[in-house]
């Protein structure tokens, strides 16, 4: 305890003084509800929040919704060629509404970063980085490995 006071004592004392000065300055302040002093104002607003828990219920309902999820639309290997995003990867929100997907990056089997298009010109596993966002601004990123064969 002696070491705590030795190390943090000055900070604790400053915090106590700051709270005391704020109390002295704000004790005469009155809000629109007639609460006088910082303690009454804060406790008055706390009571208002407790009376209307709708914000918490809304937050709870929204937090139960799943973020967007991806699925590959293909099984097995792709052939060499150029593809559209919707031919390979699809995304849905919690209500199973299909979402648009943004192509972030494509890395070829030899490690080079391709232009932002699905142009598979050599066999191997391509790493495709994608992103989607639902109407509630929930964002999901994913890296999908796409096997390409001749």
β-bridge partners, 127: 107, 145
Domains and their CATH numbers in the chain: 2-52 (no CATH), 69-149 (2.60.40)
pLDDT in tens, the chain (150 residues): 778 788 888 898 999 999 888 878 777 778 777 878 777 777 777 765 555 666 778 888 888 888 999 998 888 888 999 988 888 899 999 999 999 999 999 999 999 898 878 888 899 999 999 999 998 889 999 999 999 988
From first CA to last CA, the distance across the chain in angstroms is 72
Burial class (CB in 10 A: 0-12, 13-18, 19+), 7: exposed
- Helices (H), strands (E): how many in the chain? 4, 10
What is the C-alpha radius of gyration for the chain, rounded to an integer number of angstroms?
29
User: Looking at the whole model, is its pTM more than 0.95?
Assistant: no
Q: For residue 92, what are the CA distances in angstroms to 103, 129, 139?
A: 16, 16, 11
């Amino acid at each position: 305890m002696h070491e705590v006071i030795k190390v943090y004592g000055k900070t604790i004392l400053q915090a106590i003084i700051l709270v005391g000065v704020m109390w002295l300055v704000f004790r005469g302040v009155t809000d629109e509800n007639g609460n006088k002093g910082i303690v009454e104002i804060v406790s008055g607003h706390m009571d208002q929040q407790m009376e209307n828990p709708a914000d918490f219920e809304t937050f709870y309902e929204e937090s139960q919704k799943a973020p967007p999820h991806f699925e590959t639309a293909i099984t097995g290997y792709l052939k060499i060629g150029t593809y559209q995003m919707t031919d390979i990867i699809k995304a849905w929100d919690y209500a199973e509404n299909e979402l648009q997907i943004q192509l972030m990056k494509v890395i070829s089997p030899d490690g080079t970063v391709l232009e932002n298009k699905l142009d598979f010109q050599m066999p191997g596993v391509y790493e495709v980085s994608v992103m989607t966002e639902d109407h509630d601004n929930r964002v999901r990123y994913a890296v999908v490995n796409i096997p390409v064969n001749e």
